[in-house]
A and B are shown apart, each in its own frame.
Chain A
Amino acid sequence: MNNIDRRTFFKLISSGIAGAIGGKLVTPGIAWAKGTNFHSDEFYGILVDTTRCIGCRRCEKACAEANNLPVPDINDTSVFNHERQTSVIQWNVVNRFETEKGTVFVPRRCMHCNQAACVAACLVKAMKKRKTGQVTWDENCLGCRLCMVSCPFDIPKFEYDKAIPKIQKCNLCWGRFQDGKPPACVEACPMDALLFGTRRQLLEEARRRIYQQPDKYYHHIFGELEVGGTSHLYLSAVPFEQIGFRTDVGTTPYPEYSKGFLYAVPFILVLWPILMLGMSQVTKRQQNKE
């Protein structure tokens, strides 16, 4: 505070007042703190509490608006009649499930795995795992679709109908994140069923909810350990099989399965010939001696 001079002080004060007035005039109340920077170098993620979701589909609308996708009609409830998958124009879909504890709505989107199979599978590093947890897609894609094959949750979708096709999937609003804003779906959720924060904070919050309301929740956080952990964490009142989750994915990160083999490749390609050559040289010498 000591090194603030008179000029900066006035600047700050006046900008504060102007900001307050302006903010009030333009968007009353709802505007998020501008320039909320996420400084932490940890993995960020979203905690989805399916016991809170009311199926309003505002996250779908906000997602479409933020990512320039066709905006769905969220008053149409007929979409709940069948279970939907994400698609090239819908990165986030809300599904309805009838369970033993009543109707449950579940938003489905990219899980942003800690060690993503799609990232490991990508030949040209078009799929990237960012330092802060997001799995994003770049334009240098070959179109090989190995990411689609490798994904345990069947999330990346390919634009088969385009001349220059892209891979479409949730990127945890990477653009907004760089501007210091949380994902659009989180901002739109009226029930705080979606919660944005660091993965560590979210896990703590999820555990707190289970601990405080043990009868309400099924005692498992989907995404804590599944496929080595994911950035999207889910809480539920019923076992996760009942709300359309694959619970047979295991806790080993998918890239681990191929790591051993892939590490062996350079050894075999480089060291094996040298070893063989060496051996042949040795045997040759012995032959020559004889």
Chain B
Amino acid sequence: MSRQAHEDTIVALSTPAGSGAIGVVRISGPEAIAIVNGVFSKNILHAPGYSLHFGQVLLPSGEVLDEVLLSVFRGPRSYTREDTVEISFHGSPYILAEALNLLVSAGARPALAGEFTQRAFLNGAMDLAQAEAVADLIASTSAKAHEIAFKQMRGGVSDEIGKLRHELLNFTSLLELELDFGEEDVEFADRTQLLQLIQRISAMTTRLAETFRLGNAIKEGIVTVIAGRPNAGKSTLLNTLLQEERAIVSDIPGTTRDTIEESLVIEGVKFRLIDTAGIREAQDQIEAIGVQRTMESIGKARILLYVYDVLGTPQAEKEADLEKLRKEGLEILVVGNKWDQAWQLHDNLFERFQKTIPGHELAISAKENNGIEQLKAALLQAGVGSSNAEENVIISNLRHYQALRAATASLSEAENAILAGLSQELVAIDIRHAIHHLGSITGEITTDEVLGNIFSKFCIGK
């Protein structure tokens, strides 16, 4: 292949560490094929790209380390655009560790985290938005997050941004046309036209920025706090919720002593459930700290499950609690628990009450697994709402989000400037700010492009 950005060849285990059916070792760089050839039972020096080879990986002693299947990729037709070999070993930690040692002593260098993707980026295989998406893809822990990352990697965001850029370029051209060519015999955009255009662009950036909340939630998991008075049944609820999903639940280390965090995936959307200490007037200092932590958790949460005991909680107490907990941006689901006990008191009470419960209030029995499906549906609704994550491009990258937010702010200043009847060169300053902010994702719009656009559309010149 032609000259490359990198002189050295890197190697890493590409599947997760630990036992599995197979473990894939990837090696990329100018010497990739030669290095593998030196430890393989067959000659692959002239193997074509996209070819599969069955054989043995041999230790220096001549002993067979493992029987493997290896794939040869010839640059630039590979992920990194470099020559690459992927070797599928049996998934034993011992074999994989030995294999890495073997390849490193044969001349490869252990790859740094993300280095394959960095090479793919630096070798021009993907743009920055795509490279960032790969990182997200690798880290994605739920089906939805995987989907967003995958779409972004395939250029979804880049396409959307491309459209946005096109609109901005046209808008800028209209402004500059009248500034630089005011003497020309061409028709200039009037204020109404400019307003319509900028509102359209604003709507685009706003919409993209708004997808971030969802995108980020899906990527990171939606923080959901379970709170309520002591013995309302919070922990039981947590366990009940997790029971069915046990297989994909993982403990997240580093949670505080008195709040427990677990992950729950509902229809591909990840929720981070945080069980908290009960809320009540603190009896002692330790408990006061617990309550304080609860409040901190709520501060970070998107959804609050307020759980109360339907039999033992006075209405006033519940309302006082809710009053304290309510805050901007926090979705509260009120969950009446222990309906099984109420149900014992009267045969049809549960069903009847469930139909008459106001608003967001849900009736469940955590212990008897009653009403849990409805609760999950409510959680999903509160978490991702009705927005259709299937069709839209979703912004899940913080840097993109911030750029879009800042650009939207500049665009709205530009809109105000147009409304106030200010001259175009002042509107243009705000537009330049917007373009500057978006530049990190859309690519900067240059004067040459603006002028080129003007000359191609308008008859300029005496």
Judge: A and B partners, yes or no.
no
Interface set of B (CB-CB < 8 Å, partner A): none
Interface set of A (CB-CB < 8 Å, partner B): none
